[in-house]
Structure 1
């Protein structure tokens, strides 16, 4: 309780009780966060007893890192309950998480440059300097949109991108930063010379073919993930049957030994992007942990299984 006759206090007294500077209290007042109760005959600000509690709440909210606009919203809508405060704190936590992720990527990038041989530093700097911290995957998505058939439905494209575009780790090792930078460099260079940028599998199917093909391939790749994680050699089984059926369904054909031989020949002639999948594996797998399967490694395993079966059956 203030001891003045009118129960009010000056800005200096309020600042002293709150443990803040007069400049800070004036800042909050000027922005409408701390209403004054009256003005003295000399024009000086006077504050009521409730100002001290409001000022302490202000200080707490600012200590949590909430920007002034969010503090204003919390105080203005105080009667709406705890929801406004929860939303503001949740938003600040999300923003802080993004900042921490960016710092971890910068730290790993700095370690990458520091720990590499001097002769490689210029190349490393060029690579990581082209990538934001934390990195965006937009360039990878654009790469795949150019690779996928033009007739692919939006839902099928989105499902494929979810599997093909790796989520950058929140706390990367230097090797993962390097792998992502190399991946970015790979997908941003144009097809040149005699490179074939579209596989024949995309043009052989009819209007509905692309969606049918990639839905089936997604199922086959998921099935192949099991033997890949176990380190099993390619074999003819449910995984391969699902893989072949994806192409047969897309082409309106039947899964026969002749179809499998033709498919093997066609897939062998398609352009390959093995380097993309090698780098994806490095991005998503812990440096000292097991290698995580990717659609690319699953495709290679299934292609090898098809080749082994075709060779065995003549």
Structure 2
């Protein structure tokens, strides 16, 4: 150290255990401000530069970008935000790596004949995959002029979230699901449930509000694998349809409703694949709105058949 208490770039590098090139790099980027210049124009640093340089090195070992390091050095409260942001980014990178690993495993384990089709399916999705195509499918499928609150709730329940650590089977299921929703959506005249057609007299917002409650009640039965039966879930389901039509829940209405629901178009493959995406490798499948709908329709058919007998 010189008589004025400053350090040359070489002295600072030696004390901090780095190269002169490293000191110059951080100085040029404003992370390590110089205190003064010598008579010959050489950089001089104060003793506090040693601790600052060591802090910079510690942050760099965490792969923090230089701009983020500058934020931490300039603001004492910035470190927590920077760490949280880096953890989010690292989580996204790890998820992408896990999906790539599962996709490669899927391709490795399949037969030569299966590989081209699976490669095409996997190549159509990102890693980690986006659910945007699924959300677009439901926006097209749902009836027009549905309140945003109701539409958002339906989409949130209907779109399966990709697992962070998928199995090869889950990767294949999601890829097939993406391919399914990327097809042309059926026309509104023949490919939609009756409740979506304005000439049928339904109030879709009322219907979907009630169905959300009925599906929630049914999920408990699906998890315990109870067979379809009469009870609160079925009553809530029928009530949602009755209120949407502005009519009463009567035995005659239940019989008519069963017939109408049986004639509605179905998207069974969507719900099958959605269940495969979110369900664990072992154990019963996770409930989906589609599975809840099937359970409720079966419960309704059982009840009306018993009443007719």
TM-score interval for Structure 1 and Structure 2 normalised by the shorter chain = over 0.9
Are 1:219 and 1:242, in contact at CA under 8 Å, matched by a contact in 2?
Answer: yes
Using the TM superposition, give the Cα deviation of residue 22 of structure 1 relative to its aligned residue in structure 2, in angstroms.
1.7
* Cα distance in 2 between the residues matched to 1:193 and 1:295: 22
1:70 and 2:64 are equivalent in the alignment: no
Are 2:219 and 2:287, in contact at CA under 8 Å, matched by a contact in 1?
Answer: yes
TM-score by length of 2: 0.95
Q: For this pair of structures, how many residues does the alignment match?
A: 308
Match of 1:22 in 2: 20
Match of 1:310 in 2: 304
1:52 and 2:45 are equivalent in the alignment: no
The correspondence of residues 284-303 of structure 1 with structure 2, limited to 5 A, is 284-303=278-297
Using the TM superposition, give the Cα deviation of residue 205 of structure 1 relative to its aligned residue in structure 2, in angstroms.
8.1
Unaligned runs of 5+ in 2: none
* Cα distance in 2 between the residues matched to 1:38 and 1:73: 23
1:173 and 2:167 are equivalent in the alignment: yes
Deviates more, 1:164-173 or 1:57-66: 57-66
User: 1:277 and 1:6, CA in 2 relative to 1: closer, same or farther beyond 3 A?
Assistant: same
Unaligned runs of 5+ in 1: none
Are 1:151 and 1:210, in contact at CA under 8 Å, matched by a contact in 2?
Answer: no
SS at 2:114's partner residue? helix
TM-score by length of 1: 0.94
SS at 2:117's partner residue? helix
Deviates more, 1:149-158 or 1:39-48: 39-48
| Match of residue 150, structure 1, among 144, 149, 155 | 144
Using the TM superposition, give the Cα deviation of residue 204 of structure 1 relative to its aligned residue in structure 2, in angstroms.
5.4
Are 1:205 and 1:250, in contact at CA under 8 Å, matched by a contact in 2?
Answer: no
Match of 1:8 in 2: 6
1:267 and 2:267 are equivalent in the alignment: no
Match of 2:224 in 1: 230
CA RMSD of aligned residues (A): 1.8
* Cα distance in 1 between the residues matched to 2:231 and 2:198: 25
* Cα distance in 1 between the residues matched to 2:296 and 2:9: 76
Residue deviations 1:240-284 (CA, integer Å, cap 9, x gap)? 111000000111010011111111111111110010000010000
Match of 2:127 in 1: 133
| Match of residue 163, structure 1, among 157, 167, 176 | 157
Match of 1:240 in 2: 234
Match of 1:211 in 2: 205
Match of 1:90 in 2: 84
* Cα distance in 2 between the residues matched to 1:97 and 1:304: 42
Are 1:38 and 1:46, in contact at CA under 8 Å, matched by a contact in 2?
Answer: yes
Using the TM superposition, give the Cα deviation of residue 38 of structure 1 relative to its aligned residue in structure 2, in angstroms.
1.2
Are 1:221 and 1:295, in contact at CA under 8 Å, matched by a contact in 2?
Answer: yes
